[in-house]
Structures are given as C-alpha cells and as structure tokens.
C-alpha cells in the first residue's frame, strides 16, 4: 500500500476547504421586523375577528391567534439565540401559511 505522509496533509486540507461555510446569523433588524409584523398582523386579526363575530367558532380566530403567539415566541427566542437566514425563512413561511389558511379555506369551500 502506497502512503505518503507529505501528501496526506495537503489532501486533508483540500477536502476541508470543500466544506460549506457555517451559516451566518440574520441581522437583528431583519428578524425583529418580520416577527413583529407577523405578531401585529395576528393580533389585529384576532381583535377584528372577535369584534365582528365574537367567539363563534371559526378557523380564522384560531389561526390568527396561533400566528400572534408563534411570532411572539419566535421573537423572544431570536433575542436569546440569533437565528440564521434559513431559520427565519422557514419560520416566516410557517407564519405565512397560518395567516393565509383562513382566506384559502374561505375561497375554496364557500
């Protein structure tokens, strides 16, 4: 078996350089503004829905409440540990789907 200790260091460095760089954390204003916007949208959706229809069982009331609570949770968690841009994107996608779900259900089934 041919083995050279001179080249093993070079090959090891070469393969280490192929690894992707670690993800950069998102800037504070980026996730603060996004999560704050979703929190405000969810809270306003809950207030408007409650004002118009009371506690009559509806999917939109539950979805907007979930958006508000999740956005607030994501905001507090992001203050403790800075998320990456990918994490922020995934969380915003979940919040968007929850916020859009009542409109989609209304258009589909009514």
Predicted confidence (pLDDT) per residue in 50-108, tens digit: 888 776 657 888 888 999 999 999 999 988 888 888 898 999 999 999 989 888 887 77
- For residue 110, how many other CB atoms are within 10 A of its CB? 5
User: pLDDT, tens digit, for every residue of 19-56?
Assistant: 677 777 777 778 888 889 999 989 998 888 888 877 66
Query: What is the reported pTM?
Result: 0.69
CA distance readout (Å), 36 to 3, 57, 79, 110: 58, 27, 12, 31
């Amino acid at each position: 078996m041919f083995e050279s200790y001179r080249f093993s260091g070079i090959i090891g460095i070469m393969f280490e350089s192929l690894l992707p760089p670690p993800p950069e954390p998102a800037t504070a204003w980026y996730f603060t503004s996004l999560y704050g916007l979703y929190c405000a949208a969810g809270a306003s959706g809950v207030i408007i829905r409650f004002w118009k229809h009371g506690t009559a069982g509806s999917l939109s009331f539950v979805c907007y409440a979930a958006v508000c609570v999740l956005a607030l949770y994501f905001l507090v968690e992001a203050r403790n540990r800075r998320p990456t841009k990918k994490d922020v994107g995934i969380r915003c996608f979940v919040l968007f789907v929850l916020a859009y779900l009542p409109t989609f259900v209304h258009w589909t089934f009514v």
